[in-house]
Amino acid sequence: MGPVAFAVVGNESDAPKTLLITLTGKDRPGVTSTVFSTLAAFGVEVLDIEQIVLRRRLVLGLLVTAPRDWKSLRAAVERVAEDLDMQVEVDRGTGDNRQRPDGRSHVTVLGMPLKPFAVAAIAGRIADTGANIDRIERMARYPVTAIDLHVSGVDPDRLRVVLAEEAAAQAVDVAVQPAGLLRRGMRLIVMDVDSTLVQGEVIEMLAEHAGCFDEVARVTEAAMRGELDFEQSLRERVALLEGLDASALDRVYDDILLAPGARTLVRTLKRLGYRFAIVSGGFTHVTDKIAEDLGIDFAAANELEVVDGRLTGRIVGDVVDRAGKAAALRRFAAEAGISQAATIAIGDGANDLDMLSAAGLGIAFNAKPVVQRAADTSVNVPYLDAIIYLLGISREEVEAADAEMGIVTPAPPLL
């Protein structure tokens, strides 16, 4: 994709005459230096520049003011291109790239794999809204493919609705966020625990030790779909654990598997100043240890009552339910000195809905249908660190930062 020159809206007589110079060909050291050295002789002003390299194929776009003798500049650039064995186009016009259409968004598309027809469908729906794709960047190619589209000319909320429908039809994930400084600022990420940060449900793992797994699993599934009141269902399930030796909590913690990419997500974003919180309808005996292990800043969960080394089947204090999770998000944001708009909530079940709604960005992670419909965006790939790409951070940047810390990242397959 070559660079795009945008026309100036307003009085064209006030706009500078410009040249759009586009070079394509094999990349090699010194191309950019050679081209700019040629331009320097004509006293032009650089208004914009874009350069991308795909499999050693270079596309270099330059927008410069047009000198009086612009044809001589064109001839000079053509000679340089010939010497470099590259193709060049020089287009004369007016205006620069400063006045882009209103309504700017980042549209992140995730696929495993990402097929051309899916990209075509997403791009087509963007075009249907009258918006324009200004730039496309690859954020990752393995284990998921992620691309970030810079879109202008449509309200982000309208675009989100349009693309959510197409994403479902194409079996890809699409996240739409307004462009702006907030995406790059320090933020608070609040995560659900069971089936989000960790694989599976802790209460079901406890139920296995208590011999009541099937009954607990049935109630858990109905609660996560929003068919049962969460507090009532939790108290019913906990009651079935009465008499279980409290040592089972330690055994369950030892058996817990984090979601793939969980450590990468936390490690990477904490290096960038992000704060983390976990808010769970599960139990403090487990969540507190997870928080300590990962370096989580804040945690809230339910406390199981233990008497004489055994679970009583009761919960101490108030239940952290759907409303409690949202309240915890607001409380942690205030303690961290972070605005509520700068929070990101990640969850999968109906009891996460208020938390996802309260956050600046609510992400449904491999969630139930009711949650996917309500959240700002859905991520259905199995890797929790794919959320990094929604924040404008590429896999290459993550791997480079890990390498500095001596962390070895598995190499992607050769194509």
The residues that are catalytic are 192, 194
The maximal CA–CA distance of the chain, rounded, in angstroms, is 92
d(CA 195, CA 189): 16
Tokens 């009711």, residue?
Answer: 370
Cα 101 to Cα 8: distance, rounded to the nearest angstrom: 10
Q: Return the number of other C-beta atoms located less than 10 Å from residue 102's C-beta.
A: 9
Q: For tokens 């075509």, what's the residue?
A: 120
